């Protein structure tokens, strides 16, 4: 793996993102990528686009520059894409930054006392194009310092290694089977609000039942 490097302009861009909310604003300002590739933080800055995984890793790199450890958390879904968050803590409470094609599953203020409490704040807004509430589990946090030797901030290939780690680490279920069976569909207004400005090409479309 050949490591790239950040230019002075790239580092200046990072320096301008001096709060977690500004990191979120940067991710919101660039298009949602429908490319079937992963981009490291350097490639996100170069290409000015990102999908969920790219955005979370970029946010972790930006948060690291603000003194937070670089930490990711995976949210596992059924009949839908998983969703990855960059975590940070302030005064003992969790917040998150995320890139998403959906409006309701992005930034969270650091006001959640546990990871489960944080993850459940995404539940109602986490749905697929069929209007099914799809969030089912969340992972242990994954710290990115062990991937420094693989130059995760500047090497696209390292993204596959991180993704494999997120997929294989322990996940905790959110619902019982009875809860899953009794879930209501998402109402029309919530779907319209949640899909405002969506990139249609980047949507996961679950197979039709039957």
Closest by alpha carbon to 167, among 79, 76, 59? 76
The per-residue pLDDT for 5 is 86
The per-residue pLDDT for 110 is 98
Instruction: Tell me the pLDDT of the chain (210 aa) as tens digits.
Output: 567 789 999 999 999 999 999 999 999 999 999 999 999 999 999 999 999 999 999 999 999 999 999 999 999 999 999 999 999 999 999 999 999 999 999 999 999 999 999 999 999 999 999 999 999 999 999 999 999 999 999 999 999 999 999 999 999 999 999 999 999 999 999 999 999 999 999 999 999 865
The per-residue pLDDT for 209 is 65
Task: Give the CA radius of gyration of the chain.
Answer: 17
Distance CA 63, CA 71 (A): 9
Dig out the tokens for 69 from the structure.
């450890």
The per-residue pLDDT for 210 is 56
The per-residue pLDDT for 2 is 61
Q: What is the DSSP string of the chain?
A: -------HHHHHHHHH--SHHHHHHHHHHSPBP--SS---HHHHHHHT-B-HHHHHHHHHHHHHHTT---EEEEEEESSS--EEEEEEEETTEEEEE---SSTTSS-EEEEESSHHHHHHTTTTT-B-TTS-B-EEEEEPPEESGGGGGGTTTT-TTHHHHHHHHHHHS-EEE-S-HHHHHTPPPPPHHHHHHHTTT--GGG---PPPP-
């Amino acid at each position: 793996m050949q490591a790239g490097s950040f230019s002075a302009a790239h580092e200046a861009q990072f320096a301008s993102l001096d709060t977690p909310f500004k990191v979120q604003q940067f991710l919101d300002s660039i298009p949602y990528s429908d490319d079937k590739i992963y981009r490291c933080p350097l490639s996100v800055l170069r290409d000015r686009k990102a999908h969920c995984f790219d955005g979370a890793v970029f946010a972790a790199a930006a948060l690291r520059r603000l003194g937070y450890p670089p930490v990711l958390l995976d949210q596992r879904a059924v009949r839908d894409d998983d969703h990855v968050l960059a975590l940070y803590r302030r005064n003992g409470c969790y917040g998150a930054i995320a890139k998403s094609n959906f409006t309701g599953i992005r930034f969270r203020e650091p006001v959640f006392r546990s990871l489960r409490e944080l993850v459940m704040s995404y539940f109602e807004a986490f749905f697929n194009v069929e209007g099914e509430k799809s969030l089912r589990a969340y992972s242990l946090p994954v710290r990115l310092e062990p991937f420094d030797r693989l130059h995760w901030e500047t090497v696209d290939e390292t993204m596959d290694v991180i993704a494999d780690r997120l997929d294989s680490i322990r996940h905790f279920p959110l619902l019982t089977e009875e809860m899953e069976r009794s879930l209501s569909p998402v109402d029309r207004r919530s779907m319209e609000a949640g899909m405002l400005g969506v990139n249609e090409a980047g949507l996961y479309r679950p197979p039709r039942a039957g």
